[in-house]
Every structure is written in C-alpha cells, then in structure tokens.
Amino acid sequence: MNKPVEPLAPGAARCPGPSTAEIIRADGDHPPAHLTESSYSFIGDADIPFSRYTSRAFHELEKEKLWSKVWQWACRVDDIPAAGDYFVYEITDKSVIVVRTESGEIKAYPNACLHRGTQLKPAGSAGRSKQLRCPFHGFTWSLEGALTDVPCRWDFPHISDDNFHLPELRVDTWGGFVFINFDPNAAPLAEHLGVLPKHFANWDLSAKFTAKHVRKLLPANWKACLEAFLESYHVLETHPQGVLTVGDANSQYDIYGDTVSRFVHLVGYPSPHLKESFSQQQLLDALMGEGVVEGIADGATKLRVPEAQHLPVPVAAVPDGLSLPAQRQRPGFVHFRSAVPAARARFRRAPGAGRNGGAGFRAVLP
C-alpha cells in the first residue's frame, strides 16, 4: 500500500533515492556539465481540460497559433541527398515540397500549383524529379522555383515569370534534420533550438542515418501520443521487464524556455522501486538479457553498438572484472533473451501478455 505523501511546496516532490544527477556524477566519467545541471521551475499542475484533446475549435487555434508559427522537422537531410530529390511534408491541412536544388541548396515550396492549386507531388510521396510539373495542365517550375513552361502560354498574358515564381517557405537544418517554418517573420531556427546544439555537441546527430523508419497512424490527438514519450512514469506498469536496467521514477525533467524540454533517463541502473542491490555483473547480464542494447559482440570486453542504439559511443567497453554473457562474445549480431534468474524472478507473466506492446510481464515489488 502506498503511504500518504507529506505535502511539499508545489513541484518540489522528488523520488526518494539517488537522483539522476548524483548517479551520473558518481560514475566518475567527467560528464559534460549540462548532464548534471537542472533547469526546472514549477509551472502549475491544474488539470488540462479534456476539450484540448477533442475540440475542433482548439485544433483550429493550434493551426493558427502553433503549426503556422513554429519550426517543425520535415525530413532528414539524407532523405534528399541529390539534386531533384524531394520529400512531401504534411501538417494539418498544409502540404509542402522539400526539394534539393541543382546547386545543392534545400528549398521548400507549398505543394500547390499556382494555376488551380493541384498538388504538384502526391501526398506522402518522395522521389526524384528534374523539375516540378503540375499533373493537371502542365505548368512547370525548375527545382529553384522559376516558372519554365506554361502550355498555351499565349492564353496567359496576365502572368509573368516573376509573379509566378513558386513562393518559398523558411528552411533551415540542424543535426541532419530539415526544418521548415510557415511564418516568414519567425525567429531563426537557432533561437527555437536553444540549448539543444550545446547539449548534443558530443553526439553528432548529423552523422547518423535512418536505419529503420516505422510509421503508425494512431486514432488519437497528437498531444496524447507525444505525451506518452515524454515521461518514464509508465515504465513500471508498461515495461516492467526493464526495471532492473532503467531508472524510471528518478528520471530528471527540465524545461529550457518555451521551446525545449528534456528528460534524462538512465539506462544500466536499476529502478529506485527495487529495494535490494544487484552486482554490476548482474546489471550487465540483465541489460544484455532484456534487449535494451542490441549490439555486435567483439570479444569478452567490448560490445559494438549500432548507430541507432542508445549508447553515446559506438564501442562500449565493459568495466574491469565483468564480462559479456557467453552468447554475446561471439562476433555477429546477437539476439538474446536470457537474463539473470534474480531479475527474472521479479516478474510474472501477466494475463493478456504482450498486448500493450510490452513483453507482458508485471513487476513483483515488495
């Protein structure tokens, strides 16, 4: 049974046990200062009206005040590596073509023909095109957005090349991500990103590539979907198989201005919900056994981890005195399921196992 909680100042409650910052500092790895700093102030805990997630009027407000104003990630730079490569980005009722021009620049145009508004490229499409030609009557623009062809031009004396140049949206890039903004007066992307570039200075996202892209259409308001990925509170119930290898209740949340928030979530450290202590070898075995890290074994003391995985370095050295489980020591990609019995004993199969996307275990806590 949970004990009642002593009232504290609003926003002051913290999980008992070591904080994320204390654990990182104790690691003795000289982490960058921002990893152990905190940036938090209480911004209220009033209920959010249900209608924020369901009301058409609120959605219209978001279109007007949010989506038409903010920098938003449209695609990756390597989605459009060569001249003529394009990617159609859609948000609310807007559609945008992001295109690589002949000179190698990235430009973004509204995906609408200036004649009668036909989409120049199909919704959700990507590909390569020498030019942007409307599929209805054939008005054509260069990759640079210049009008190059109008069938029966004699019948259009009122248009000029100048006033039929494709309008351009704001475009900028960071970390290999292409961002667009519908607001010509928006502050620069760098201002929107705030501390992000500094925090990622040692973790170059532009050097990464998309190994796998999974899309899923969810029958829910976008905020409800996003919020599920902004907290670790659900780990205990939804992913209890991971409690030996992730800090959950002591994850640290920070707010940096209006556009950046972060949470720092430790992998390889047991949940503060667990009362007993585990050896480093047990934790390593559990980390390997629960599939938190997929990698390629490289002898008993090194694990090469693919780019897309969580570890901040491609080679993770196993600490002195510990070794990878035997099945992880062989070169080659290893898929693993074993875990230390002590960790397994903490879980029991739940009815309806696997239905919620987790592995179908429930934590058995003291």
Cβ atoms 267, 246 nearer than 8 A:
yes
Q: Binding of ligand FES at residue 238 (CB under 6 A)? A: no
Q: Out of 116, 130, 310, 330, which residue is the one contacting ligand FES (CB under 6 A)?
A: 116
- Comparing CB distances to ligand FES, the nearer of 117 and 306 is 117
Q: Stretches 5-13, 38-46, 81-89, 134-142: which one binds ligand FES (CB under 6 A)?
A: 134-142
Structure tokens at 141: 């623009």
Site for ligand FES in 301-360 (CB under 6 A): none
Check binding of 115 to ligand FES (CB under 6 A): yes
Interface residues for ligand FES in 135-164 (CB under 6 A)?
Answer: 136-139
CA distance 278 to 283: 7
CB 314 within 8 A of CB 305: yes
Q: Does 113 bind ligand FES (CB under 6 A)?
A: yes
- Which residue, 59 or 115, is less far from ligand FES as judged by CB? 115
96 interacts with ligand FES by CB under 6 A: no
- CB closer to ligand FES, 112 vs 235: 112
Q: How far is the CB of 157 from ligand FES (least distance, A)?
A: 17
Buried b / exposed e along 68-81 (16+ C-beta atoms within 10 A): eeebbebbbbebbe
Residue from the set 55, 118, 202, 280 that interacts with ligand FES by CB under 6 A: 118
DSSP H helical segments within 8-142, as ranges? 20-26, 33-36, 56-62
Q: Residues near 242 by Cβ (< 8 Å), separated by ≥ 6?
A: 235, 290, 292
Interface size with ligand FES, residues (CB under 6 A): 9
Contact between 72 and 179 under an 8 Å Cβ cutoff? The reply is: yes
> In sequence order, what are the beta bridge partners of 362?
348
Residue 170 phi, psi dihedral angles, 5° rounding: -65, 135
Residues that bind ligand FES (CB under 6 A): 113, 115-116, 118, 134, 136-139
